[in-house]
Amino acid sequence: MDLSRPRIQTDVQVMFFDTDGGGVVHNIAYLRFIEIARTLLVEQLGLGLAEMARNQRYPVVVRTEIDYRRPAALGDRLVIDGWLDRVERVRFWCSFRILRPADGIQIADCRQMLALVQMPGGKLLRLPDSWEKYRIPTSDLSSSSPVRPR
């Protein structure tokens, strides 16, 4: 994890609507927590919500990988750490880690691949030139795989 890349940290408290009948967080609720963190992270990259609505350019999720490590429950307070993991010409990866600070337990890891599209036609766009500073040189990619959260 490169600390010079954009990062975000958000806090959530597990509510009734996040849980199933047993009071355990439903798997889809974790993706909502990640959606909030990802929206704030992309805002740091210059794609704020108002700007996206104005110019109709949106980051869209192409792939999500998530590992559920431990369950969270009703009332738990969680921290979602997110960071820009990798940038290419037309796609980028964000990684996330969900922790329960009360006991230090890691709840889930997630990695998402996104692309930038122009709506309403859904045209794939090249990422902004200002993101070039986050790209890993091609020579470095051949010797290592993208960093996965632990």
Q: How confident is the model at residue 53, as a pLDDT?
A: 92
Burial of 44 (0-12, 13-18, 19+ CB in 10 A): middle
Q: How confident is the model at residue 3, as a pLDDT?
A: 56
Residue 148 in any domain: the answer is no
Q: What Cα–Cα distance (Å) separates residue 106 from each residue in 8, 59, 71, 101?
A: 17, 27, 9, 9
* Cα Rg of the chain (Å, integer): 16
Domain ranges, residue 128: 7-135
Residue 111 in any domain: the answer is yes
Q: What Cα–Cα distance (Å) separates residue 7 from each residue in 37, 39, 86?
A: 9, 12, 12
- The per-residue pLDDT for range 12-32, each reduced to its tens digit, is 999 999 999 899 999 999 999
How far, in Å, CA of 115 to CA of 112, rounded?
10
State in Å, rounded, how far the first CA of the chain is from the last one: 10
How many structural domains is the chain composed of?
1
- pTM score, whole prediction: 0.86
How far, in Å, CA of 39 to CA of 49, rounded?
8
Residue 15 in any domain: the answer is yes
How far, in Å, CA of 68 to CA of 149, rounded?
12
Residue 66 in any domain: the answer is yes
Q: Which contacts (CB < 8 Å, 24+ apart) does range 22-26 have?
A: 23/73, 23/74, 24/71, 24/72, 24/73, 24/74, 25/71, 25/72, 25/73, 25/76
CATH number, residue 61: 3.10.129.10
- H or E stretch covering 68: strand 57-68
Contact 53, 39 (CB under 8 A): no
pLDDT at 130 over 50: yes
Kindly indicate the confidence band of residue 144, based on its pLDDT and cuts at 50, 70 and 90: very low
Residue 145 in any domain: the answer is no
